[in-house]
């Protein structure tokens, strides 16, 4: 098999070839490795090769619905026993921290027959919607290497889009599956809260805001991977209702007539690029052609306050992670990026009662989302408010870096929080991705579907820009059914960048 043929198959298609004896798992792995070696010097998506470990697995007995299919795993919580586990962090990399055992998720992937052969680039602790960590350098978009593949699963997205693998691990705490899917022309489903595992060390991240899954080129791959991964684990804080039927069956079916509300207005009042608006308008037209009822509507909630509440939880999470890494590695502040240290300082400066208030407000947001989804099956928005950003375009400006260094030196983070500068900095980042946090805070599933490639935006022509659908609790199957219908009506699988 040559690479050109390998690329024509999704994970299910490759597994079928292995099952029929037309190719071996070892042969597929070598094709994937060769492709990675060819494109990774330009894209920097694969940062920790695990070739020997994978070769050993590929020669052994394999079973499961995806037996023999090569994959990559994100270097953030999706641990592989015996492999480096750096999380985009300088201190963990300097101390060469390794995972003691497979995470529950990776164990389930392996039980499904997948063969992981490396770990992918991520920003430090997955904190950004771009992938440009100091520890490994920026990952680049295969469609245009001057632009980001998104984040925080940007390394995985770059490798899937470039044809290295049909599927790669990802996770999403504020859009980190959907954002890179939108940037790289991929399908990205964020499951609902509690649908996929985090164990065995812990079973929920950021009170359920963050969830694990994958990035794929085909809808059916994402569906089958969700069947393989989903379900409770030891220590689950609550048990989510199982699907009424296998997700693979949902992706093989078609939805009935749906009622969908859509919006192209930023809920934060920030600008939305004409390309993002065109992406949704094109999706609306396609939905109407398919017989669905679509009208302009949006949930009624204080989106600005919601984003700040999301940020407060992330501040606290980051502070805890920095403390943990310092304890594990013995490194001081030099082991972390400036932005990470600032976020952690803000987390320590947030009083416990304010943290509780912000989490309590989540209930209001969930009620607002549930109220909206009583009237509509889905909410449609741009995934991103603008085309994929240029490499370096979203870096903290030098003047802010100087101010942060001074404030951290004198312990002035509490003063900074009172000035409103944090809110200003947050809105500057959220303007790029004002639509994705809703699904994380409310715990509902959402997906980005690749239906638009930019055609008139200066500097962004040819770059993908996805459309987001937000569903209700337990609607992963219904989302997959719609995604499969859209995939059939406007195929994207054969659109490849390089």
User: Cα 33 to the chain's mean position, in Å?
Assistant: 23
Residue corresponding to tokens 């007995």? 61
Q: What share of the chain is helix, strand, coil (3-state, %, to 5)?
A: 45, 10, 45
Give the other-Cβ count within 10 Å of 388's Cβ: 28
Give the residue carrying structure tokens 């805070």: 441
- Measured between alpha carbons, how far apart are the two ends of the chain, in Å? 19
- The span from the CA of 16 to the CA of 57, in Å, is 19
Contact 489, 286 (CB under 8 A): yes
Cα separation, 325 vs 332, in Å, equals 9
Query: Do 301 and 364 touch, CB atoms closer than 8 A?
Result: yes
Q: Is 152 a catalytic residue?
A: yes
Tally of CB atoms within 10 A around 151: 30
Phi, psi values for residue 433, rounded to 5°: -140, 65
Tally of CB atoms within 10 A around 412: 16
d(CA 288, CA 284) in angstroms, rounded, equals 6
Which residue among 176, 218, 222, 460 is the active-site one?
176
Cα 460 from Cα 386, distance rounded (Å): 10
Q: Which two tokens stand for residue 132?
A: 């440009």
- Beta-bridged to residue 46, according to DSSP, are 120
Helices (H), 200-271: 219-229, 247-252
How many residues make up the chain in this entry? Answer: 498
Contact status, residue 133 vs residue 452, Cβ threshold 8 Å: no
The single residue of 93, 103, 110, 152 carrying the catalytic annotation is 152
Active-site residue flag, 448: no
- Could you tell me if 205 and 41 are in contact, meaning their C-beta atoms sit under 8 angstroms apart? no
176 is annotated as an active-site residue:
yes
- Using CA atoms, how far apart are residues 358 and 11, in angstroms rounded to an integer? 41
The residues carrying an active-site annotation are 74, 152, 176
């Amino acid at each position: 098999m040559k690479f050109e043929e390998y690329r024509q198959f999704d994970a299910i298609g490759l597994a079928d070839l292995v099952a029929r004896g037309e190719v071996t798992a070892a042969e597929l792995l070598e094709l994937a490795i060769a492709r990675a070696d060819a494109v990774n010097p330009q894209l920097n998506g694969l940062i920790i090769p695990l070739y020997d470990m994978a070769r050993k697995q590929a020669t052994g007995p394999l079973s499961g619905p995806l037996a023999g299919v090569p994959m990559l795993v994100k270097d953030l919580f999706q641990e592989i026993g015996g492999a480096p586990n750096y999380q985009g962090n300088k201190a963990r990399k300097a101390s060469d921290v390794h995972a003691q055992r497979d995470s529950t998720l990776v164990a389930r992937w392996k039980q499904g027959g997948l063969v992981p052969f490396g770990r992918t680039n991520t920003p430090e602790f997955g904190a950004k919607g771009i992938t440009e960590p100091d520890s490994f350098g920026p990952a680049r978009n295969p469609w245009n290497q001057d632009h980001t593949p998104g984040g925080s699963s940007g390394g995985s997205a770059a490798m899937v889009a470039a044809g290295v693998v049909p599927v790669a691990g990802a996770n999403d705490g504020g859009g980190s599956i959907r954002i890179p899917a939108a940037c790289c022309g991929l399908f990205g489903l964020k499951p609902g809260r509690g649908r996929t595992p985090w164990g065995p060390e812990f079973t929920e991240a950021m009170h359920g805001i963050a969830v694990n899954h994958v990035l794929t080129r085909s809808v059916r791959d994402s569906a089958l991977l969700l069947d393989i991964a989903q379900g409770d684990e030891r220590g689950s804080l609550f048990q989510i209702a199982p699907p009424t039927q296998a997700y693979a069956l949902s992706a093989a079916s078609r939805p009935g007539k749906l009622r969908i509300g859509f919006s192209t207005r930023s809920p934060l009042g920030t600008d939305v690029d004409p390309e993002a608006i065109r992406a949704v308008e094109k999706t609306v037209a396609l939905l109407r052609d398919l017989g669905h009822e679509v009208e302009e509507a949006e949930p009624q909630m204080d989106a600005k306050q919601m984003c700040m509440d999301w940020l407060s939880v992330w501040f606290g999470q980051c502070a805890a992670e920095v403390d943990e890494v310092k304890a594990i590695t013995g490194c001081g502040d030099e082991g972390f990026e400036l932005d990470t240290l600032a976020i952690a300082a803000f987390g320590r400066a947030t009083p416990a009662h304010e943290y509780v208030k912000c989490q309590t407000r989540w209930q209001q947001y969930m009620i607002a989302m549930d109220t909206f989804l009583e009237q509509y099956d889905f909410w449609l928005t741009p995934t991103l408010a603008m085309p994929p950003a240029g490499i370096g375009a979203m870096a903290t400006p030098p003047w802010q870096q100087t101010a942060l260094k001074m404030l951290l030196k004198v312990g002035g983070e509490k003063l900074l929080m009172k000035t409103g500068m944090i809110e200003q900095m947050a809105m500057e980042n959220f303007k790029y991705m004002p639509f994705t946090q809703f699904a994380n805070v409310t715990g509902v599933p959402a997906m980005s579907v690749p239906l638009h490639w930019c055609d008139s935006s200066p500097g962004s022509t040819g770059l993908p820009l996805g459309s987001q659908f937000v569903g209700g609790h337990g609607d992963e199957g219904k989302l997959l059914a719609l995604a499969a219908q859209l995939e059939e009506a406007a195929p994207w699988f054969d659109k490849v960048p390089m």
